Amino acid sequence: MTVRIIAGRCRGRSLLTPSGPGVRPTPGIVRERLFNWLGGAVAGARVLDLFAGSGALGLEAWSRNAKEVVFIEKNPQHRAILLRNLQRCDVGESQLAGKDALFYLQQGPRPFDIVFADPPFDQGWPRRLANALRSPATLRNPGWFYLESSAAEQWQEEDIPAGWRVHRHGHCGEAFYTLYSNQQEDLDKP
């Protein structure tokens, strides 16, 4: 599968993608919609790409002038492909961590402005992430959290961390994607 950066300084660069069952890079149409929703929030932001895979989400943010992007990918084969993609987009190797996503979040990293999570489907990741994201140390206020999941794993109202609301959502094939916000202006909307 060919994945290309949609916009910004790395526009048009093709990315390598891992292969195998369950691998599903975020399609270009979904990434374009997500970054339209985020608008100017990306420029200058500190971004975390959990379950990075090819790095398409984080690299799209980097291309659109995110200040810093940290990529978390536990799978060694995926990490090797991701490293090559980071090199293609002139991102430092130091931005790649080969840790389990929950372990990384539990280490208390400096807070991020935007967090992307596209975990393997049907393995309980959304519920586990909800618990980890309840800590205000993970996400700044205001901040954004993007989650891709299967239909069965979409967060229910009680799963959404306190203070967060659905900003926008959609689906593409079997993937459901939601952008959550703790932006005050979004919380005040009826």
pLDDT band at 18 (very low <50, low <70, confident <90, very high): confident
Q: In 3-state terms, what secondary structure has residue 108? A: coil
In the predicted structure, residue 180 carries a pLDDT above the cut 60: yes
pLDDT band at 14 (very low <50, low <70, confident <90, very high): very high
Torsion region of 163: left, alpha or beta (phi above 0 gives left; psi -120 to 50 gives alpha): left
Model confidence at 22, pLDDT cuts 50, 70, 90, reads low
CA distances from 115 to 17, 19, 21 (A): 21, 24, 25
Q: What's the CATH code of the domain at 69? A: 3.40.50.150
Residue 72 region by backbone torsions, left for phi larger than 0, else alpha for psi between -120 and 50, else beta? beta
Q: How far apart are CA 60 and CA 36, in angstroms?
A: 12
Domain around 15:
3-20+27-188
Domain count, the chain: 1
Kindly report, residue by residue over 42-99, the tens digit of the pLDDT: 999 999 999 999 999 999 999 999 999 999 999 999 999 999 999 999 887 678 888 8
Give this prediction's pTM: 0.91
